[in-house]
Chains A and B, each alone.
Chain A
Amino acid sequence: MKSGNDIAVKVEHLTRRFGDFVAVDDISLEVRKGEVFGFLGPNGAGKSTTIKMLCGLLLPTAGSGSVGGYDIMTESEEIKKHIGYMSQKFSLYEDLTVEENIDFFSGIYSVPPQKKSERKEWVISMAGIGDRRKSVTKNLPQGFKQRLALGCAVLHEPPILFLDEPTSGVDPISRRNFWDMIYVMSKDGATIFVTTHYMDEADYCDRLAMIYRGKIIAGGTPNELRLEHMKRDVLEIEVDRTVDAIDILYKSGVDAAIFGSRIHATVESAEVSAPSITKLLEQSGIRVLNVEKIEPSLEDVFVTLIEVS
């Protein structure tokens, strides 16, 4: 990676069309060296298309950008020397064993022979797959596969890592383990660009960009996003009959959504609305167990932003 400035990834007015469909629409963003940058958005928002353009796998239709100081239009092969990429779909060789996959990518990334076994052991221990090293990859649980894929993408210790939905389809514990791995690499100084559609994972990132229908709709640290874009308050309401309660709230025009067994209502002022909502529900025979003002989650922020846009 070229040194000199502290920007790892920078794109301006990046656009990618597939025929008439605009997958990525004029986006600009910057990722600083060493940060964990989250790229958030629902499925089909343009996350994977963006990440593929950054990795030199897909040529942009318009715009400019650089990764590690190399131009994404003209120096894609240079970029490939300095990045690790983990695609959304599991893309290791399913008919090879764990060790064979590691050996293969270690050869592909030209890891020097004297470092090879050290890197291999590092990947195996970090991914926690020591007892599965002779297993054919096909038979591994999804969580193991994801961690192995990440391990194979960082064998050559790349300064920048692109992870495309690394935790999709994985159980919550595996997701947590995976994020622990990301932190380890971040501590070692790597820049990490990670896409996800799990809003709860956004809080693990240093900075975020939210993408929706190909456009970036917001960006900043998780706290900045909350402060800037959540002018309104969020009330968390706990009742005995959630579904009936949300029906009543809808009918009286309250902006509310179910979050697990509770209801989140977005209101102008918590102080004014808390008593009135309680009253409204109790009049309809619903027992209100608890109403309190909460810190809005990034999902609340995202939902609000989509409604605005």
Chain B
Amino acid sequence: MKLLRVKAIAKKELIQILRDPLSLAIAFLMPLMQLFIYGYAITFDVNNISTVVYDRDKSSMSRELISEFQASGYFTIAAYIEGYKDIDTYFETNRAKVALIIPEHFSKDVKTGRPAQVGVILDGSDSNTATIAEGYINAVGLLFAHRLPGAKVLPVIDVRGRVWYNPELKSRNFIIPGLIVVIMAVIVALLTSLTVAREWERGTMEQLISTPVKPVEIVIGKLIPYFSIGFADILMAIGIGVFWFGVPLKGSPFLLIALAAIFTFGGVSFGILISINARGSQAVASQMALLSTFLPAFLLSGFMFAISNMPGPLQWLTYIIPARYFVTISKGIFLKGSTLEMLAWEATLLTLFGAAVFIAAVKRFRKRIE
């Protein structure tokens, strides 16, 4: 391997990226936009659930209960209705997700010590919100019961959960560390996937393969600038996560950065392997890069859905998705402050993946027209 040749290719590739607005946009604009859009859009926190109230009691006690719901911050009263039919109207037009029905004899029941029931109807078409809303309703109800004068509602077992690692249970804190991984898996592969295909498409590859340059020199030379850009992107994304979204980074930033470098190396190697296999078509290459990174990283990396809940074969599939390892690493370092010993398994597999894909790319590169 000659350094002179690797250097020539790396320099040429860098000049080309810097002169190509599309490459620059993919490299810097796309990750920024995705990070902000997904960072704000994906949240499991439920606030201000629009609620309609059918108050058949119309007593001071029922009004107290309603204001208790309002004060919790989770519910916004959209309207007061006068009949069950109205619930349909509000649910169908998406103006409400929860209906609260207070029966006629509510205050009488409470005062006489009989069990008082409050009806709740939830819009199950958004099951996630419905489940969370149900939890909030129970909590508010319990709180209200406790504060009633002379209340003797004491649970037999008092369960008091304590949440570790993300005590505020802010969904953003666990979404951002995974989101960084998903976005970078896509960007790095997409960006790199064009580099070899473009040369075949434009005819410059024919000139290049007529020279004594070796496949390993071409692959390394091309990877250097893409690795640098991908790595800069990851640093940028981590920075935005910590300083803009305020996600606490509990573990070692250096460990995170070092493992990010290994992840980036695997990503660019994978991109160039796609590019080599998509011979001659940039369109095919970018499609392949998107398909093989976005959905797997999004769905099978453990970013959105816990791998342990997946059916067996799907769980096995996740092992060949490098994002899986880096999602675990990123969440671990961000939220739990995991150390390298704790992440040894993921770090090892991530490294093996990078090495295997890099070797495959060099082996697959042909200096012939087929």
Contact = CB atoms under 8 A, between A and B. Distances in A.
A107 B203 contact: no
Interface in B182-209: 202-209
A57 interface: yes
A80 B210 contact: yes
B212 A80 contact: yes
B207 A77 contact: no
Given A59-B368, A91-B207, A81 B12 contact: no
Interface residues of A, number: 35
B158 interface: no
B204 A109 contact: no
A19 to B, nearest CB: 13
A198 interface: no
B206 A108 contact: no
Contacts of A85: 207, 210
Nearest to A91: B207
Contacts of B341: none
Contact of A91 (B5, B206, B213, B368): B206
A122 interface: no
Given A57-B209, A104-B8, A108-B9, A52 B369 contact: yes
Contact of B210 (A57, A94, A100, A103): A57
A90 B203 CA distance: 8
**DSSP majority for the A interface?**
mixed
A89 B203 CA distance: 7
Contact of B208 (A89, A106, A108): A108
B207 A92 contact: yes
Interface string B3-32: 011011101100110011000000000000
A107 B7 contact: yes
Contacts of A77: 212, 367
A232 B15 CA distance: 60
Contacts, number: 87
Contacts of A271: none
A254 interface: no
Interface string A81-118: 10101110111111110001001111111100100000
Interface residues of B, number: 27
Contacts of A24: none
Contacts of B210: 55-57, 80, 83, 85, 87
Contacts of B19: 95
A73 to B, nearest CB: 12
A22 interface: no
A58 interface: yes
Given A100-B15, A107-B4, A108-B8, A91 B204 contact: yes
Which residue among A91, A92, A96 has the maximum number of chain B CB atoms within 10 Å of its CB? A91
A92 B202 CA distance: 9
Most A C-beta atoms less than 10 A away, residue of B5, B19, B208, B211: B211
Given A57-B210, A87-B206, A89-B206, A96 B5 contact: no
A152 B204 CA distance: 13
Contact of B207 (A87, A96, A106): A87
Nearest to A107: B8
Nearest to A59: B368
B5 A110 contact: yes
A103 B5 CA distance: 11
A108 B20 CA distance: 23
B178 to A, nearest CB: 37
Nearest to A116: B4
Contacts of A153: 207
Nearest to B10: A107
B90 to A, nearest CB: 59
A18 to B, nearest CB: 11
Nearest to A78: B212
Contact of A110 (B4, B206, B369): B4
B2 interface: yes
A167 to B, nearest CB: 18
Contacts of A95: 15-16, 19-20
Given A52-B369, A107-B4, A96 B15 contact: yes
Contacts of B208: 108
Contact of B211 (A52, A59, A105, A113): A105
A110 B204 contact: no
Given A80-B212, A96-B16, A109-B212, A104 B11 contact: yes
A193 to B, nearest CB: 13
Contacts of A152: 207
Nearest to A111: B4
B369 to A, nearest CB: 5
A242 B120 CA distance: 100
Contact of A109 (B12, B211, B367, B368): B211
Contacts of B11: 103-104, 107
Contacts of A76: 367-368
Interface in B278-296: none
B16 to A, nearest CB: 6
A103 B8 CA distance: 8
Contacts of A81: 212
B20 A110 contact: no
Given A87-B203, A91-B203, A108-B208, A57 B368 contact: yes
B269 to A, nearest CB: 22
Contacts of B20: 95
Interface of A: 52, 55-59, 76-77, 80-81, 83, 85-87, 89-96, 100, 103-110, 113, 149, 152-153
12 contacts: A56-B368, A57-B367, A58-B368, A80-B211, A85-B207, A87-B206, A89-B203, A91-B207, A93-B12, A105-B8, A108-B211, A113-B4
